[in-house]
């Protein structure tokens, strides 16, 4: 299997994978922020740099570029991203040419002007072909049988985020994605023919597995790998919203159910996102640490129905929730 995949150039595999990913993204329209809106939003967001990617343990080469693009898509809006194209040159000017790791993360982060450094890892493998079968009898003796070839791609993407100021790992997790593909289905209405075909295709499948002669399925591979990696990276979406919430406030009460809020696509806001409205209590000082905490109480939830621009969106709530809100009330993604 691995040998067959390596017969195709890594560049070819990467191009096909990225093409599959872009085709999947075409159905997700978003109002792009203008340069002015993006610049205005920068001061309210933390800056991250993706400094490491490991493909160790992956039986499929050429998936790194796809993963980096998908992770950037996950982080854009929530953070300011350091341009990867300039990163190596900036570090080389400062005499840092070796790999970046947790030990030198604070130094590297300060050079790049980043608040956080992101380390990623990816592994992907394809199993198959496996012969799938189904047989049943309906209406007495009426026989129905089905045979098909099945392939399975399993991917795992890991993320580790290091805070530059402290050098501490503030987030670390891995998510898995699974994608399957079926082909060469045959239908049978005679049990004898089904059994004969089953024996023939079982032998052929075993030979294919042993020989690894699956290079001709590169298109199916690329789509399966793209789907499984996208599924894995999407698994981090909730964690990012939870760990790195975006916040804003209500700009205007538009109707009995709609309000305008001052966060838009420049903050990663999408149609359908859920926003939480908070009420802040009186500050409380902890006598042991002397830290001041402002307690918050959830007042209601809103759902984004329209992203107007990079800096604004319209969100909808129940009439009861909206009746309690005022201009200036605090809103966040978590």
Q: Which of the two residues, 138 and 254, has the higher pLDDT score?
A: 254
Q: Could you report the per-residue pLDDT of 63-86, keeping only the tens digit for each?
A: 888 888 899 989 988 999 998 878
The model's pTM: 0.74
Backbone angles phi, psi at 319, to 5 degrees: -60, -35
| pLDDT at site 301 | 95
Reading phi first (left if > 0) and then psi (alpha if -120 to 50, else beta), residue 77 is in left
> Residue 64 phi/psi, 5° resolution?
-60, -45
Integer-rounded Cα radius of gyration of the chain: 26
Is the C-alpha dihedral spanning 172, 11, 152, 234 positive or negative? positive
Top-confidence residue, 151 or 231: 231
CA distance 314 to 316: 7
The average pLDDT across 232-242 equals: 92
Residue-by-residue DSSP string for 87-155: HHHHHHHTT--S---GGGHHHHHHHHT-SEEEEEEEEEEEEEEEEEEEEEEETTTEEEEEEEEEEEEEE
- Tens digit of each residue's pLDDT (9 = 90 or more) over 152-165: 889 999 999 999 99
User: Is pLDDT above 70 for 246?
Assistant: yes
Look at strands 330-332 and 247-253 and give their pairing: antiparallel
d(CA 75, CA 71): 6
pLDDT recorded at residue 309: 93
Sign of the C-alpha dihedral, residues 169, 75, 105, 45?
Answer: negative
Parallel/antiparallel/unpaired status of strands 116-138 and 47-54: parallel
pLDDT digits (tens, 9 = 90+) for 86-143: 888 888 888 887 788 888 888 999 999 999 999 999 998 887 678 888 988 877 778 9
Give yes or no for a contact between 222 and 212, defined as CB atoms under 8 angstroms apart. Answer: no
pLDDT of residue 208: 57
In this predicted structure, the answer to whether residue 2 has a pLDDT above a threshold of 70 is no
State the pLDDT at residue 138: 79
How far apart CA 334 and CA 332 sit, in angstroms, is: 5
pLDDT of residue 90: 87
């Amino acid at each position: 299997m691995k040998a067959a995949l390596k017969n195709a150039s890594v560049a070819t595999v990467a191009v096909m994978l990225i093409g599959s990913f872009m085709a999947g993204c075409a159905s997700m329209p978003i109002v792009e922020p203008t340069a002015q809106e993006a610049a205005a939003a920068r001061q309210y967001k933390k800056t991250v740099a993706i400094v490491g990617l490991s493909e160790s343990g992956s039986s499929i080469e050429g998936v790194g570029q796809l993963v980096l693009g998908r992770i950037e898509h996950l982080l854009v809006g929530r953070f300011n991203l350091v341009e990867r194209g300039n990163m190596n040159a900036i570090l080389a000017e400062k005499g840092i040419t070796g790999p970046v790791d947790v030990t030198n993360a604070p130094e590297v982060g300060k050079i790049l002007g980043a608040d956080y450094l992101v380390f990623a890892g990816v592994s992907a493998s394809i199993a198959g072909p496996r012969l799938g079968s189904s047989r049943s009898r309906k209406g007495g003796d009426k026989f129905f049988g089905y045979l098909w070839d099945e392939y399975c791609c399993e991917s795992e993407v890991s993320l580790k985020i290091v805070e530059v100021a402290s050098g501490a790992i503030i987030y670390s997790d891995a998510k898995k994605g699974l994608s399957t593909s079926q082909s060469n289905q045959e239908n049978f209405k005679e049990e004898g023919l089904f059994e004969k075909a089953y024996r023939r295709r079982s032998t052929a499948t075993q030979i294919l597995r042993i020989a690894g002669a699956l290079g001709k399925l590169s298109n199916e591979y690329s789509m399966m790998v793209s789907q499984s990696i996208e599924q894995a990276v999407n698994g981090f979406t909730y964690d990012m919203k939870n760990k790195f919430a975006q916040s804003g406030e209500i700009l205007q009460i538009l109707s009995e159910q709609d309000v305008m809020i001052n966060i838009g696509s420049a903050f990663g806001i999408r149609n359908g996102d859920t926003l939480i409205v908070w009420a802040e209590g009186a500050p409380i000082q902890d006598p042991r640490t002397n830290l001041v905490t402002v307690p918050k109480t959830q007042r209601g939830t809103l759902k984004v129905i329209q992203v107007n621009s990079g800096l604004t969106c319209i969100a909808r709530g129940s009439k009861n929730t909206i009746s309690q809100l005022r201009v200036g009330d605090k809103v966040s993604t978590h």
